[in-house]
Structure 1
Amino acid sequence: MWDNVKPWWAGRDNDIDDVDEIDDADDTPVRLQSHIIVSGDDALAMTIVEELNKAGVSIVKLTTADLTVAELVDAGVDRALAVVCAEADDALNLEIALLARKANPDVRVVARVHNDVVRAAMADGNGPGAILDIAELAAESVVEACLASTAHPFEAAGVEFVVWTTEVPRDGTLREIYDDLAPVAVIQGDNSSSPGELVACPQRDQRVHAGDMTAMIGTAEQLAARGVRATRQRDTPTRRYRMRRVLDAVRTMRDDVNPLFYPAWVVGMILLIGSTMVLRYSYQRPGGMKWMDALYFSAETITTVGFGDFNFIDQPTWLRLFSVILMFVGMTTTAILVAFIADLLLSRRFIHTSGRRRVRHLRDHVVVVGLGSLGMQVVTDLTAAGHEVAVIELDDENSLLSAVDDLDVPVIYGDATLPQTLESACVEHARAVAVLTHDDMVNIETGIVLSEMTGDAVTPEAHGPEVPLVLRVYDRELGFAVAQRFGFDYVRSTVELAAPWFVGAAIGLQVVGTFSVGQSAFMVGALHVDAGGDLDGLRIVEMPAKTRVIAISRPDAPVVVHPRSEHTLRAGDTAYLVGPYRELLDTLRTRQRPLQIVTSV
């Protein structure tokens, strides 16, 4: 009855919510074997379905209207390999995950949850699967791009590895230039036959040219021997750094004071000193007035808080007139000074909320545009690493503002697509600008405006603005197109960075990490070799192309780092692979029985 099953996107105009998997004969749900249930209809869910399809896994697309345990049972949750909850709504993902776990305690549940508290509670005792947050998965790549980091550290099989991106210094083979480092990717430069082309996991004897970009992988010790320092955060701010913060605060305070404050203050000081001298030498009483008495009386008269300590009834007329004038002039001067101080304090409160004047003296800071979940994670990571950050946010009622305030990060309220807003964030002095709003078109427009501000033409030949610019583009295809058309070097698709984690967790692959080479996402994954499986007895040289085995761990045996091509995998091994994540998913076909692709919603 299912002889003519078509993929879920075929002939449906991408309307995936109005297709039902129902037996035409008796309207009973179809029971599938070894399938994965996926919910969600945005770019992330579509990418997950696409990649699972390519991995040869049967897909059941779940509708979420009036969801019940019975509907999950009808979808075959008792026979499913995994349930992937990829809705944009945390509450809906939570509901599906809990219902799926109730219906089948052993199914892998992979849920997309942004809320930190809920995610931690779900992860505790979740069982098979993973509870993931897109912002957390994508933030590291954005931070590395902002800081122009050339070294990406990660741990596999208990060994600290580093992916090092560098420019090829001379013509030659990768083996001749980088010795025992393993190549992950080569982006061909202008001296190559195909400029801009990315070659994934090339052989060590691959010939490269000066100007090519390479991503090489090695242990932390191997990279340290080459002078490459891999660290996830900067050293603690130095005393000089703290002194600069103090000086910046003093300069900001100075700039905020009303210019008329200084003349008024001078008048007040002249009045206080003059009155003290007059009273010291002119006040008539036994012994006269001492200097301290004269200063005290002048101060209390000028500030209009006189306590009646001294009596002018028996003083000369001119001195009594002087005291009257002193009272009025002192009262006026004090009122002016109090008004200026109140204005200063009030303006400081506005500065604390708007941040424009606090940013005025920042240098070498990172400007983060958009305070969503990804923006907040990037701000947190940068400040934790000791870097100065300024935020541009349009919504002054954003719920994350209190968290930014706790980090003492200034916030500028305004539209980042306007040049004056970017100028108020001192982008010309920034080390990078990360545009991370929820709207792809706003991000692209902001990138173009920033390019025009720096005087760079927005053409395919351009290499982005002078200030390094990191653009968040949700859809990966749009991200590739934007990078190519406008010449932006750092376009990061959150779908491209997060999808490998969801797909890997759904099919049982342990994802160790993801990183970017150029505009392409690479993944590090751990693959267990099953007894009697297709990987059992397979030599490294026979592994699929565009993947590289960087380590093999065996029970009760030392970890094999950079295994040779003749090395053979055995049952019980865990192989750690690196490569474009689509190629790594293809590798899974060697350990899984081919499955018919059956899809429904």
Structure 2
Amino acid sequence: MREQSATGMETTQGHVIVCGLDELGLNTLEELRRLGEDTIVVADRADESFVTAARAMGAAVVRGSYTDERVLRQAGIHGALALVIVETEDVGNLHAALAAQELNPAVRIVVRMFNQDLGRRLEDLFADCHVLSSSAIAAPAFVSAALHHDWDQRVEVAGRVLTVHEGSAREPHVILPLARVDPDGTTTLFPEEGEDLLCLVDGDLSQRPEAEQRRRLAETNNGIARTRRLGAAGVAGSLWSLLRADVRLRWLLMLLLAIAAISVLIFYVFTDLGLVNSIYFTVTVISTTGFGDINLRDAPAALKLYGAGLMLVGAAVLTTFYVFVTDAIVSARVGRIGSVIDSQMSGHIVVCGVGSVGYRVIEEIVRAGVPVVAVELDEDSNFLPPVRSLGVPTLIGDAKLTETLAALNIEKARCVVAATDDDVANLETALNAQALNPDLRVVVRIFDPDLAARVERAFDIHTCRSVAALAAPTFAIAAIGERVLATTSVGSGVLVFAQLDIEQDSPLAGAAISTLEGGPEGRVVLLMRGEQRTWRPPRETVLAVGDELVVVATRPGLARMLDDAEAAAPRGRS
């Protein structure tokens, strides 16, 4: 176990400081240690199990607020190579980044920030800063698992839009086959030939006819909720959604109808009222709005007592029904803007949990042109307004309940994505959804990567994803100075698109591209030399200072590419 005094850490040089020790912080720390980086962790209110795990990896831990200059000095900010800030608060992360910049203007800063607009401005403010959103990094993996064959991820490289697309290696415009994923989950990286491969394709496939058809289908299905609000059909649709979403309303309505039916029969049989008048009289008694034109003044005593009881019971049941309907409307059970999940919607994705991850997943699904509906327990969630602005029907309710899932047309859905912050709730939602629709594809968010793998095997769930495990490699690679362009999910793993700059002191200068591609886990996609762009450059090409490379690799593969290049660098070069 590595322990250091405060004074010792203050004088440490060339290390990486990680601020924050949640799941993402611990996974990022693990990635950095695998890359051979010396690390110091700043943690204030971290779980003791995480602190123990960090120390077991050989990282020193400084306890205190990451926005406190004294704590940053204690962690050796003056000699640090990089500062990785992975706490969840955007404002606090901005505060820490500004403090670190003042203490060491040369330090590389990697910041976790959900607000990407603010993040872009922050990158312009600092000399060497990378702003990353863990939810934005992880969302494509969730969407890829949800849509399976029907989703194409876009990657922008050197101002050119590329697409990660499933197809044949022989298809036109294929730059590089990325992987073959067999039915048993076995993944083969960078195959030379084959069908049904995950390929990197030149061009934006979202403009193709089949994508346009999917987009129109999504607009039609997502627009049903708004168009059905018009006229009597909209009222009926809203009432039906209320009844589907709340079992109490269904039982009360059935009780009310049963009382009314029995009363109509009694008045029809035991009085000289006809059928229509019996119905009319029953309604006026239950609603206590009788006009006096029909009464039981001359009726037998038993019938009078029944009429009195009907007034009391009917009024009580009707009042309770009104209360529950009002509660459902006021609590926005079907959304404050009156969204209605149409009973005819089918082939849609159900996203459970409209938090940071759920919102990013919904954005990607809408962009892919696939119909999607959402459910969120917290009606005050900050992410509900932007989700509704995308035209996505949104239900307020508990996704674990079968009544809620039924209201989301889970029987006709193609996939459910359980993306709340609660592992147990996500698992329960997935199992209940599978019970209602055994053919449903299920994607579950689980925080612990090891638990995610075990849940996937034990419960026959198609895909379990850990946001921390998906995002951590990107944060770690950014910390060592490589610019991550995108990540894409391949089977149970992740491929990283990164840009490598060949600088004056770079070990890559003078090395051949074949050196980088010596292993099976990485390939060079693009060589930029001045104004020249070479896609899939020849393996014998020798790299020179000023070259820029875009590579795609696994996280260990990228580390090996850098190590192999350093080992193969010409002797005598400084």
* Fold conserved between structures, TM > 0.5: yes
What are the residue-to-residue correspondences of 1:310-329 with 2, within 5 Å?
A: none
| Structure 2 residue corresponding to 1:45, chosen from 14, 25, 29 | 25
Residue 398 of structure 1 aligns to a residue in which SS?
coil
Matched, 1:432 2:426: no
Matched, 1:576 2:550: yes
- The residue type equivalent to 2:561 in the other structure is T
Task: Name the residue aligned to 1:36.
Answer: 16
What are the residue-to-residue correspondences of 1:138-537 with 2, within 5 Å?
A: 138-148=138-148, 149-166=150-167, 181-189=175-183, 195-202=184-191, 204=192, 213-220=196-203, 234=215, 246-247=227-228, 251-254=233-236, 256=239, 350=329, 353-355=332-334, 358-364=340-346, 365-383=348-366, 388-407=371-390, 409-455=392-438, 466-531=439-504, 533-537=506-510
Residue 354 of structure 1 aligns to a residue in which SS?
coil
Matched, 1:93 2:93: yes
User: For the residues of structure 1 that align with 2:203 and 2:90, how far apart are their CA atoms?
Assistant: 38
Q: Do the aligned partners of 2:222 and 2:392 also contact (CA within 8 Å) in 1?
A: no
- The residue type equivalent to 2:555 in the other structure is Y
- The residue type equivalent to 1:200 in the other structure is L
Residue 544 of structure 2 aligns to a residue in which SS?
coil
Residue 474 of structure 1 aligns to a residue in which SS?
coil
Q: Do the aligned partners of 2:515 and 2:565 also contact (CA within 8 Å) in 1?
A: no
User: For the residues of structure 2 that align with 1:478 and 1:444, how far apart are their CA atoms?
Assistant: 11
Matched, 1:113 2:95: no
Shift of 1:526: 0.9
Shift of 1:522: 1.0
- The residue type equivalent to 1:38 in the other structure is V
Residue 153 of structure 1 aligns to a residue in which SS?
strand
Using a 3 Å threshold, how does the CA distance of structure 1 residues 386 and 571 change in structure 2: closer, same or farther? same
Q: Do the aligned partners of 1:234 and 1:386 also contact (CA within 8 Å) in 2?
A: yes
What are the residue-to-residue correspondences of 1:116-135 with 2, within 5 Å?
A: 119=119, 122-135=122-135
Shift of 1:577: 0.8
Shift of 1:359: 1.5
Q: Do the aligned partners of 2:225 and 2:341 also contact (CA within 8 Å) in 1?
A: no
Shift of 1:243: 7.3
CA RMSD in angstroms, aligned pairs only = 4.2
Aligned length: 472
Task: Name the residue aligned to 1:74.
Answer: 74
The Cα offsets for residues 535-555 of structure 1, whole Å up to 9 and x where unpaired, read as: 223222222411011111111
Unaligned runs of 5+ in 2: 43-61, 241-252, 257-290, 294-317, 569-574
Q: Do the aligned partners of 2:90 and 2:115 also contact (CA within 8 Å) in 1?
A: yes
- The residue type equivalent to 1:61 in the other structure is V
Using a 3 Å threshold, how does the CA distance of structure 1 residues 397 and 489 change in structure 2: closer, same or farther? same
Shift of 1:382: 4.0
Structure (1/2) with the larger helix percentage: 2
Q: Do the aligned partners of 1:353 and 1:410 also contact (CA within 8 Å) in 2?
A: no
Residue 57 of structure 1 aligns to a residue in which SS?
coil
TM-score after normalising by structure 2:
0.70
TM-score after normalising by structure 1:
0.67
The Cα offsets for residues 204-232 of structure 1, whole Å up to 9 and x where unpaired, read as: 26xx6x8xx521223228x899x897789
Task: Name the residue aligned to 1:65.
Answer: 64
User: For the residues of structure 1 that align with 2:562 and 2:472, how far apart are their CA atoms?
Assistant: 16
- The residue type equivalent to 2:552 in the other structure is V
Looking at CA atoms only, which structure, 1 or 2, has the larger radius of gyration?
A: 1
Unaligned runs of 5+ in 1: 1-5, 9-18, 169-173, 190-194, 261-326, 330-338, 456-465, 595-601
User: For the residues of structure 1 that align with 2:213 and 2:111, how far apart are their CA atoms?
Assistant: 27
Shift of 1:434: 1.4
Shift of 1:71: 3.4
The Cα offsets for residues 245-304 of structure 1, whole Å up to 9 and x where unpaired, read as: 5357553423539999xxxxxxxxxxxxxxxxxxxxxxxxxxxxxxxxxxxxxxxxxxxx
- The residue type equivalent to 1:524 in the other structure is F
Task: Name the residue aligned to 2:525.
Answer: 550
Shift of 1:578: 0.8
Residue 358 of structure 2 aligns to a residue in which SS?
helix
Shift of 1:74: 3.5
Q: Do the aligned partners of 2:416 and 2:433 also contact (CA within 8 Å) in 1?
A: no
Q: Do the aligned partners of 1:146 and 1:432 also contact (CA within 8 Å) in 2?
A: yes
User: For the residues of structure 2 that align with 1:568 and 1:347, how far apart are their CA atoms?
Assistant: 73
What are the residue-to-residue correspondences of 1:12-27 with 2, within 5 Å?
A: 21-22=4-5
The Cα offsets for residues 483-514 of structure 1, whole Å up to 9 and x where unpaired, read as: 23333333332123222331222111111101
Using a 3 Å threshold, how does the CA distance of structure 1 residues 110 and 229 change in structure 2: closer, same or farther? farther
Identity %: 27
User: For the residues of structure 2 that align with 1:367 and 1:31, how far apart are their CA atoms?
Assistant: 52
The structure, 1 or 2, with the larger RCO (C-alpha pairs under 8 Å, 6+ apart) is 1
Q: Do the aligned partners of 2:378 and 2:396 also contact (CA within 8 Å) in 1?
A: yes
Task: Name the residue aligned to 1:102.
Answer: 102
Shift of 1:592: 6.5
The Cα offsets for residues 81-127 of structure 1, whole Å up to 9 and x where unpaired, read as: 11011123445433322221110122111122235676465445133
Using a 3 Å threshold, how does the CA distance of structure 1 residues 592 and 77 change in structure 2: closer, same or farther? farther
